[in-house]
Structure 1
Amino acid sequence: MRPTDGGGAGPRAANGRHESDEERADRKWGELIQEVRVAQTGVQILFGFLLTVAFTPAYEGLARTDKTIYVVTVLFGAAATGALIGPVSFHRMVVGRHIKPQAVRSASRLTFVGLLLLLATMTSALLLILRVATHDPYAPWIVAAVVAWYTYCWFVLPLWARHRHTTARRGSAP
């Protein structure tokens, strides 16, 4: 029997949960897969639409620069799709090998890379669309503003919250 702090099934971790390392890995794996499902769906839909562009009559009329942006966008989309599907394959290849904590860490890193590639895909897709649809010389600035917004929502705000609440918790510990 494992020692507890009096109320749970397992030892109490620093995060206040009563869970073993395996239980924590199972929980983190479940959370990661839920997160990946959201990003994966978005990138797959975007990637699917991107793949169809080259087969439309309008593609031939694109300027060389726009075709280059398109190819780069498709490559980013392919890489993002691979990275965001990777955790599922990773899990399938290592299931039953008793390395779930390590698998969760690796899959988490792969997911983070996938999010960065998704950001690159969306950035270049938005640039291409705004260049072709508006011919506006301010398109790159509009794209930069949207990228700043994505960066704030996806990275800055979560990192700020992590820092703020981790620091506050450490400061209030006995």
Structure 2
Amino acid sequence: MQHHEEPYERSETESERLDRNWGEILQELRVTQTGTQILTGFLLTLAFQPRFAELDAFQVGVYLTLLSAAVITTTLALAPVSMHRALFRQRAKHQIVRTSNAVLKITLVMVALILTGTMLLIFDVVLGHTQGIIAAAVTLILTAVAWLVLPLATRPDRD
């Protein structure tokens, strides 16, 4: 016999729900912002390493694409905070929460691509093109499983 819980309903006002949602988004942004900033910083330092001059055209292209994506992603991860600051006390919480949710989803996609590309670059430099492509593919698959398949599989059953 399978046990089904009744859906949990919160007794909260629309304003309380928006405040709770905004708080949850901020917690997720804190993690995302830290990760994107560290990754961006790491990528920024690579160009100043002695071995950087040995990269081939493909590796330089991957590096510049990754660096650009990392800067864009860091900017996106900070956008909800800037938006909240600009719209503070303007009764725009609903719009801030909705837009921040969308920006956070885009940021996570970008983070997945940057992680994948970083594995491609590092493995390509250290072991070669084939190993770089394999490492990137494995990273993309694992990220998709962890960030897409797992949440979908974990969703509560809906009747």
1-side partners of 2:56 and 2:129: how far apart? 15
The answer for the alignment partner of 1:19 in structure 2 is: 12
What is the aligned counterpart of 2:53 among 60, 73, 87? 60
Q: Rg: which structure is higher?
A: 1
- Counterpart amino acid of 1:51? L
The count of aligned residue pairs is: 153
Give the direction of change, closer, same or farther, for the CA distance of 1:15–1:91 in structure 2 (3 Å limit).
farther
Task: Tell me the distance in 1 between the aligned counterparts of 2:134 and 2:118.
Answer: 14
| Equivalent of residue 90 in structure 1, options 79, 83, 86 | 83
Normalised by the length of structure 2, the TM-score is 0.91
The farther-off stretch of 139-148 and 58-67 is 139-148
Q: Distance in 2 between matches of 1:147 and 1:97?
A: 40
Structure 1 residue 158 corresponds to structure 2 residue 133: no
Q: 1:32 to 1:23 in 2, by over 3 A?
A: same
Kindly report the root-mean-square deviation, in angstroms, between the aligned alpha carbons of the 2 structures: 1.4
The one-letter code sitting in structure 2 at the alignment partner of 1:131 is D
Q: After TM superposition, list the pairs within 5 Å mapping 1:127-166 onto structure 2.
A: 127-135=120-128, 137-162=130-155, 165-166=156-157
CA–CA separation in structure 2 for the residues paired with 1:101 and 1:81: 23
Distance 2:73 2:151 in 1: 21
Check whether the contact 1:21–1:101 (CA below 8 A) recurs between aligned residues: no
Identity %: 34
Any stretches of 5+ residues in structure 1 without a counterpart?
1-13
* Amino acid paired to 1:31: E
Listed as ranges, the gaps of 5+ residues in structure 2 are: 1-6
Residues 136 and 64 of structure 1, relative CA distance in 2, 3 Å threshold: closer
What stretches of structure 1 move > 4 A for 4+ residues in a row? none
Q: What is residue 43 of structure 2 aligned with on the other side? A: 50
Deviation at 1:136, TM superposition (A): 5.6
Other structure's SS at 1:28 match = helix
One-letter code aligned to 2:149: V
Partner of residue 34 from structure 1, selected from 21, 27, 40:
27
Q: What displacement does 1:139 show?
A: 2.6
Provide TM-score, normalisation by structure 1. 0.83
